Amino acid sequence: MERNNVTVTTDFILLGLWPEFSHLVILLCLTLLVYFMAVLGNAVLILLIWLDTQLHSPMYFLLSHLSLLDLALISTSVPKMVTDFFSGERTISQIGCGTQIFFSLTLGIAECLLLTLMSYDTYVAICNPLRYSVIMSHSTCKRMVTGSWAGGAITSLVHTAYAMHFPICHPREIPHFLCEVMALLKLTCEDISAYVKSVVVSSFLVVLIPLSLILASYTLIFLAVLRMNSPEGRNKALATCSSNLGVVSLYFGPAILVYMRPGSSKTPRLNQSLFMFNAVLTPMLNPLIYSLRNKDILEALKSIVTSRCPLGKLKRHLGCYT
């Protein structure tokens, strides 16, 4: 008498990026190009800040960690998405799904917190320059970065553990190119209204409150800039603020639409577009925005390009000559 073996799978299937799109190969190749540009741009920015002693300031220290977060964020989704498409294997284990949710949330929340701290750094530099070196000491900057990572990790761990405990009663197909909380919730048959409310509350804490603090900081900054007597100082301050606000809008806009829009879990196509913009395009645009509007970074890059020894002021210690 034979016994039938029944295999119960706990793997999920990622349906991918806009599966109904007719030219998906072209779109994936463009996404891969954006990924390489983001990796190159952020890696170069981190390298410049690390090597050039003129960039060893609190602002650039925080900026280097923002680039590090961008590198990690885009690497949580694009390699898996592109590999799945070209290999035809679109499954992801339950542990892998939870891991992807955890890291994407951790990095996204950490970036929101770090951008808030970067706005505070700009506020102190412009509105209280005489005490800047005291307020923004190296130890303070390290605590800021550590706090951003810790805040993101703790909040993400709570959401990931809670979202993954729901039983799945629908086909284990996630209409997304990565494991994401709102897409995963569509597969459960339990009442998730209480959890959705908790998502809105936590989004208010990690998105709206930081955004309000950022806008308040830049309001005070603009008022201080208008009182400046030096046109050169005013233009430099405005260039820095415009770059920072541009990056802030790229991060916070899609996050608000995904996690604070009523019924956001019911619009997977729009959510995919917003995640594509936030987690793929923004990490590529970030180094461009900061580099093209920042004379210090452009000068550091120029010195590396025109020097035989790409270590700036460190070249004399290595016996290199231009």
pLDDT digits (tens, 9 = 90+) for 190-211: 877 787 778 778 878 888 889 8
For residue 4, what pLDDT band results from cuts at 50, 70 and 90?
very low
Convert the pLDDT of each residue in 129-146 to its tens digit: 889 989 999 999 999 999
Region 250-257 average pLDDT: 82
Convert the pLDDT of each residue in 100-116 to its tens digit: 999 999 999 999 999 99
Region 76-92 average pLDDT: 86
Confidence (pTM): 0.84
Query: For position 319, what pLDDT does the model report?
Result: 40
Query: For position 280, what pLDDT does the model report?
Result: 87
Q: Which residue has the higher pLDDT, 97 or 52?
A: 97
Region 15-31 average pLDDT: 79
The domains found in the chain, sorted by start residue, are 12-318 (1.20.1070.10)
Q: Which residue has the higher pLDDT, 251 or 237?
A: 251
Query: For position 224, what pLDDT does the model report?
Result: 83
* Distance between CA atoms of residues 36 and 34, nearest Å: 6
